[in-house]
Amino acid sequence: MSEVIAQIERVTREFKRGGSVVRAVDGIDLAVQRGEFVAIMGKSGSGKSTLLHLMSGLQRPTRGRVVLLGHDLGSLSDDALTLLRRQHVGFVFQFFNLLPTLSALENVALPLLLSSVRASEAAGRARQVLETVGLQERADHKPDELSGGQMQRVAIARALVNRPALLFADEPTGNLDSVSSEEILTLLKTTQVEQGQTIIMVTHDAKAAAYGDRVITLRDGRVHEDLATRSVAV
């Protein structure tokens, strides 16, 4: 249980903002083990979202190396990177980000359909995953007919449908009330505990971060604290 699934080395990411260069992530080293639930905390502007984008291959670093599932992302073409995301990475976002024209079931099945899985099989698997998030009855509803919590559960189902090696969650509770937040976090935690799902979650909410085995606090683009929370008595 000590297999490194994602690793970044001296990763820096700079942005141009109005003529000056802003360093959002400043030389971070980090390794995530298979099965871990890592919570990344920090104030807004601390670089936590950028770190997640870099680790997941949504953005490329200005300097440094990102290794995901043994692939050095810098050496992959955009298509290869996209395929890696499609097959091995799941995403959950703050604003649910479901496609409004598709039903819940179709949204969940989307990554499978993109991988050219047969429509009937994709629907079957999507239905299964929807069941695990408790939304089997809402399968045929469009996103605008679902509550925020339900939409986020559909998003999680979509992220999980490919049995990804890694699940990235960017403020998954940022737009939810506290009870829905708890449901979502519990759902994530359950997938970690029961299926050994590796989860990397960015949040500014300490309550959400408390679900992680590791709470990493960023400050000014650097790791301020990396705290293991497991099996420590209070």
Partner 1 sequence: MIALYRTLAARSLLGKKGRSLMTVLGIGLGVTMVVAVALTNGAIMASYQSMLEGVAGRADLQVTASAGQGFPIELLDEVRAVAGVRAAVPAVSSGSPVLFGQKQTVATIYGIDPGQDTLIRDYHLTAGQLPAGDDELAVSAELAGGLGLQLGDRVKLLATTGYSELQVVGVFETGGTVRGSLGPFGAIRLGRAQQLFGKAGKLDTIDLLVAPGARPESVEQAIGQRLNGRARVGTPLERSRDMQKLLDSIVFTLTFASAVSLFAGAFIVYTNVAMGVAERRRDLSILRALGLRRREALWLVLSEAATMGLAGAGLGLLWGYGLASTMAQQMTGRFLVVYGIQASQVVLGLGDVVVALVIGLGVSVLAAYGPAREAVAISPVEAMRPDDVQVNGQETHGLARALAGLALIAAPAATIFATWPREGMLPLPLLRLWGALAAAVLLGVVVLLPVALPAANRRLLRPLQVALFGVTGRLASDNLVRQPRRAAATAAALMVSLMFMVGIGGMGVSQQATFDRWYQKAVGWDLNVSTSFVGIGAQVEMDPALVRTLEAVPGVRLASPQKMGRIVLGDGEPAFLQVFDHRLLRQYSEMPLEAGSWPAAVDALERGGASLISPAIARRLGLGLGDTLKLPSPSGEQAFRIVGILQDVSGFGGTIELDRQDYVRAWNDETSTNVALLVADPARVEAVRQAILDRLGSSTNLLVRSNREFWQELRGYYESFYQLMDGLVAIAILVSGLAIANTLFASVLERRREIGILRAVGTKRGEVVRVVLGEALCTGLVGGSLGIALGLGLEALFVASTEFISGAAMELVAPWRLLGMAVGVALLLAPLVGLLPARWAARLDVVDALRYE
Partner 2 sequence: MRPPLPVKHGLLGLLARRPRYGYELKAEFDLLSGGFWDLNVGQIYSTLERLLKDGLVTLDEGDGAGEGRKIYRLTPSGQAELDLWLAQPPLKPRPLRDEVYVRLGLLVDRDVSAAFDLIETQRRVYHLQMAELTRQKLALARGQRVADLRRELLLDAALLHVEADLKWLDTCDEKLRRVRI
Using CB under 8 A as the criterion, which residues of the chain lie in contact with partner 1 when the complex forms? 53, 58-59, 78-79, 82-83, 85-87, 89-91, 93, 95-102, 110-111, 113-116, 142-144, 151, 158-159, 175
Stretch 175-204 residues interacting with partner 2 (CB under 8 A): 186, 189
The reply to whether 21 sits near partner 2 by the rule CB under 8 A is no
State the nearest-atom distance from the C-beta of 229 to partner 1, in Å.
28
Q: Taking CB under 8 A as the criterion, which residues in 41-80 touch partner 2?
A: 43
Select from 211, 218, 221, 223 the one that contacts partner 2 (CB under 8 A): 211
Q: How many CB atoms lie within 10 A of CB 198?
A: 22
**Both tokens of residue 58?**
């949504």
Segment near partner 2 (CB under 8 A), from 17-25, 135-143, 151-159, 206-214? 206-214
Residues 215-234 that bind partner 2 (CB under 8 A): 215, 225, 227, 229-230, 232-234
Taking CB within 5 to 8 Å according to partner kind, which of partner 1, partner 2, none is near residue 234? Answer: partner 2
User: What is the distance of C-alpha 122 from the center of its chain?
Assistant: 22
Question: In whole angstroms, how close is the CB of 58 to partner 1 at the nearest point?
Answer: 5
Footprint of partner 2 (CB under 8 A): 43, 186, 189, 206-207, 209-212, 215, 225, 227, 229-230, 232-234
